[in-house]
Chains A and B, each alone.
Chain A
Amino acid sequence: MSSTVYRPSHVKYRREADGGLVYDHENYGYEDASLYRVSDTVVEVLEFVEEPRPSPDVEAEFSPAVVDSLVERGVLARGE
């Protein structure tokens, strides 16, 4: 059974006129969050996995490298 890719609940995102924003409240401290400006591609990936998707589907739509990179940064997570 292949793994799925999903957006952790502490990660939020928003499309902007120029790319998008990713807000990461991973540490869950008071007002203690990280904000990243991201490309259109990252926003598209996040929109694609609005519901958890099988990894092969996401990697086929974008690329394994993009998915690995976003997992490494904590923007995406893998699950069963």
Chain B
Amino acid sequence: MASEPLSAPVTITWEVTLGCNLHCDHCLSGSGPGHQMPGELSTEEAKSFIDELDEMDVFQVNIGGGEPFVRPDMLELLAELTSRDISTCVSTNGTQLDEATLDRVEAMDPLFLQVSMDGLRAENDAIRGEGVYDQVLDSLERLEDRDIGTTVNTVVTRQNVADLPDIYDLAEAHGAGLRLNRFRPSGRGEDTWDEFRLTEDQIRFLHGWLEDHPDVRTGDSFFYLNALGEVRNDTLKQCGAGSLTCLVDPVGDVFPCAFTQWDHLASGNVVEDGFQAAWDEIANLRSQIDDHEGCPAVAMGSSDPDGEDPQLRAILSGD
């Protein structure tokens, strides 16, 4: 959108750990129990990074992982972000939200939670683990009781796309919005791409269903922030990776987005190089992904890494 590269990202995704109490089959970052990376940012390094985010006037930080709340210092870092008035969004699997955690979260502003739900009970638990659906429902009820702004996030797969109308109703019944994310071939998604990706008929169903449900968000910060309020049908053509947003991994390496964490697209490290230097460098990488129409991550992770996003063609041209 800007003629000159931005001085800083509008929003970043920060994967604070690859540790997670769950081991989901489609996890974009390949997280799981004991999967913490050697050298994940210490509390002091993380706070120093937050200080630089504040100096650079980054508007919004989206915290992901792994499961953020397995980090013992997560609440401390969230307090650091929100005390600087940085809009802070936390993506959680919803199983770590005990009352003490919610007491702290409730007092923070501006802070927003996103809880993952990848289907109704059968489909969700098949992909996320036995009993997780009921834990998430319990969390949604307690979040609603506290009036903590919450969004249900669903990664749309071949197995759960038919559940969307029911998930929509369930989220609404708990005062939560629904946000959909595309399933992408990254992390364990590379191994399960052919198992979980949507069929062309399902893509067309999803596209029509979204048109009928304009209040459903379509996830991925660059879809929003590039859209400038324009119709969502165009947003799959847009990508802000490396131009409006970027990804910082648990050890502080910087990539264009969460789904392009390949070594040749790393632009620096927030500890070794500083985030400003890594961001300035990322403009040079942008040319490597600009040629991919649609979502570059899907294009580059598909069978034809030099081609376009194959799902985009199904949506836009009906091929």
Q: Give residues in A with beta carbon < 8 Å to B.
A: 9-10, 12, 14, 16-18, 21, 23, 25, 28-37
- Decide yes or no: A37 and B2 within 8 Å by CB, A29-B217, A31-B217 being known contacts: yes
Asked if B10 lies at the interface with its beta carbon under 8 angstroms from chain A, I say yes
Interchain CB contact (< 8 A) of A33 among B3, B4, B60, B150: B60
Assembled-state Cα–Cα distance A75/B221 (Å):
21
Task: Determine if A35 and B10 form an interchain contact, defined as CB atoms under 8 angstroms apart.
Answer: yes
Please state if A12 and B4 are interface contacts (CB–CB under 8 Å): no
Q: Are B149 and A28 in contact (CB under 8 A)?
A: yes
Rank and list the top 6 A-B pairs by shortest CB-CB distance, nearest first: A30-B151, A23-B59, A14-B57, A30-B114, A35-B225, A30-B112
Residues B149 and A29 in contact, CB atoms below 8 Å apart: yes
- A34 and B11 CA atoms in complex are apart in Å by 12
A30 with B179, Cβ < 8 A, contacts A12-B59, A14-B59 known: yes
CA distance A29 to B150 in the complex (A): 8
B177 on interface, CB distance cutoff 8 Å: yes
| A31/B149 contact (C-beta < 8 A), A14-B57, A17-B4, A18-B4 known | no
CA distance A16 to B8 in the complex (A): 9
A37/B60 in contact, CB under 8 A? no
A16 touches B6 (CB 8 A): yes
Report the nearest A residue to B240, measured CB to CB: A35
Query: Are B7 and A17 in contact, CB atoms less than 8 angstroms apart?
Result: yes
CB of A28, distance to nearest CB on chain B (Å): 6
Closest-by-CB residue of B relative to A12 is B59
Kindly report which residue of chain B lies nearest to residue A17, judged by CB atoms. B4
> If A14-B8, A16-B2, A37-B1 touch, does A32 touch B217 (CB 8 Å cutoff)?
yes
Q: How far is the CA of A8 from the CA of B225 in the complex (A)?
A: 19
Q: Complex formed: what's the CA distance from A28 to B219 in Å?
A: 14
Most buried by B among A12, A14, A30: A30
Contact in complex: A21, B10 (CB < 8 Å): yes
* B62 interfacial by beta-carbon distance below 8 Å: yes
CB-CB under 8 A from B112, the residues of chain A are: 28-31
Q: Would you give the shortest CB distance from B181 to chain A, in whole angstroms? A: 10
- Nearest-CB distance from B15 to chain A (Å)? 15
Is there an interface contact between A36 and B11, defined as CB atoms closer than 8 Å? no
Chain B 219-262 near chain A by CB (<8 Å), digits 1 or 0: 11100111011000000000000001000000000000000000
Q: For A31, list chain B residues within 8 Å (CB).
A: 11, 60, 62, 89, 112, 114, 179, 217, 219-221, 224
Distance, CA A21 to CA B10, complexed state (A): 9
Considering the complex, give the chain B residue whose CB is closest to the CB of A9: B85
Q: Which one of A21, A25, A28, A32 contacts B6 once the chains associate, using CB atoms below 8 Å? A: A21
Whole-angstrom distance between the alpha carbons of A37 and B229 in the complex? 12
When distances are taken between beta carbons in the complex, the residues of chain B under 8 Å from A29 are 112, 149, 151, 177, 179, 217
Partner of B177, one of A23, A30, A37: A30
Q: How far is the CA of A57 from the CA of B209 in the complex (A)?
A: 50
| Residue B113 is within 8 A (CB to CB) of chain A in the complex | yes
- Interface residue ranges of B63-93 to A (CB < 8 Å): 85, 87, 89
Complex interface residues of chain B between 30 and 68 (CB less than 8 A to chain A): 57, 59-60, 62
- Sample of 5 further A-B pairs with CB below 8 A, known A30-B150, A34-B229, A37-B1: A17-B4, A18-B2, A31-B217, A33-B11, A36-B228
The answer to whether B1 and A25 touch across the interface, beta carbons within 8 angstroms, is no
Provide the residues of chain A in CB contact with B187, threshold 8 Å: none
Measured between alpha carbons, how far is A12 from B7 in the docked complex, in Å? 15
Interface flag for B110 (CB, 8 Å): yes
Q: How far is the CA of A26 from the CA of B8 in the complex (A)?
A: 22
CA distance A35 to B217 in the complex (A): 16
Distance between B118 CB and nearest chain A CB, rounded to angstroms: 16
What CA separation (Å) do A32 and B151 show in the bound complex? 10
